A and B are shown apart, each in its own frame.
Chain A
Amino acid sequence: DAKTTQPNSMESNEEEPVHLPCNHSTISGTDYIHWYRQLPSQGPEYVIHGLTSNVNNRMASLAIAEDRKSSTLILHRATLRDAAVYYCILRLKTNTGTASKLTFGTGTRLQVTL
């Protein structure tokens, strides 16, 4: 299975943009890049996903490198409520090909300060 590499932690000031990097050098052509986040004491929450092109939604933007070996999640204006662990995940088929599992690493813990 292709793996992702993320920094263990990052800090940001409130109201400033945050760029969370992810390396996935062994990504295959059919892998989607997903980002989830986990707020303290909660289940993971979907943030955004993409395949080849950059993507925007109401929560964040996803910038994908041309060779797809890395991506960056962009929070345009961090707030205290964005403090969470952010997971970069390649969406893979299971071995049987009948369901698509999420393989979680340890993610990046984002701290947001005033």
Chain B
Amino acid sequence: NAGVTQTPKFRILKIGQSMTLQCAQDMNHNYMYWYRQDPGMGLKLIYYSVGAGITDKGEVPNGYNVSRSTTEDFPLRLELAAPSQTSVYFCASSPTSGGANEQFFGPGTRLTVL
């Protein structure tokens, strides 16, 4: 199993540009999550999904959109990039809900907006 994969690893955007961060998992997990991590801080939840076709907002959803057309893929879209979106983005998945289940994280995408 590859686990959770993310592309690209690094990206530099200009203000106002748009891009899609890709996330895929091959563990047949229903639950998927997007987090961002600013320098020296913990992770904050952007969006999550409980299955194909179902998504919901997390703590910091403004400026982002998501879709979940398949179990495997959960892309994150930035429509109008702003410097405040400079961060490291992590995708994660878990098999079910519930407090006893661990989340599996991808390696992250480092995004810089200039």
Chain B residues closer than 8 Å to A32, beta-carbon distance: 99-100
Instruction: Tell me if A99 counts as interface (CB < 8 A to partner B).
Output: yes
Instruction: Tell me if B56 counts as interface (CB < 8 A to partner A).
Output: yes
Chain A residues closer than 8 Å to B94, beta-carbon distance: 100
Interface size class of B (residues with CB under 8 A): 20 to 34
A104 and B42 within 8 A (CB)? yes
Chain B residues closer than 8 Å to A41, beta-carbon distance: 108
B99 and A44 within 8 A (CB)? no
Given A101-B33, A101-B58, check contact A106 B41 (CB 8 Å): yes
The one of A87, A98, A104, A106 in contact with B40, judged by C-beta atoms closer than 8 angstroms, is A106
Instruction: Tell me if A16 counts as interface (CB < 8 A to partner B).
Output: no
Chain B residues closer than 8 Å to A100, beta-carbon distance: 31, 94, 97-99, 101
**Within the assembled complex, what's the spacing in Å between the Cα atoms of A31 and B102?**
14
**Within the assembled complex, what's the spacing in Å between the Cα atoms of A102 and B44?**
9
Instruction: Name which residue of chain B comes closest to A95, CB basis.
Output: B56
Instruction: Name which residue of chain B comes closest to A109, CB basis.
Output: B40
Interface residues of A: mostly helix, strand, loop or mixed? Answer: loop
In chain A, positions 26-58 with a C-beta closer than 8 Å to chain B are 30-32, 34, 41-46, 49, 51
Interface size class of A (residues with CB under 8 A): 20 to 34
Instruction: Tell me if B8 counts as interface (CB < 8 A to partner A).
Output: no
Instruction: Name which residue of chain A comes closest to B107, CB basis.
Output: A43
Instruction: Tell me if B74 counts as interface (CB < 8 A to partner A).
Output: no
Q: A residues within 8 Å of B by Cβ?
A: 30-32, 34, 41-46, 49, 51, 87, 91-94, 96, 98-107
Minimum-distance CB pairs A-B, first 5 = A104-B42, A43-B105, A32-B99, A91-B99, A46-B102
Q: B residues within 8 Å of A by Cβ?
A: 4, 31, 33, 35, 40-45, 48, 50, 56, 58, 90, 92, 94, 97-108
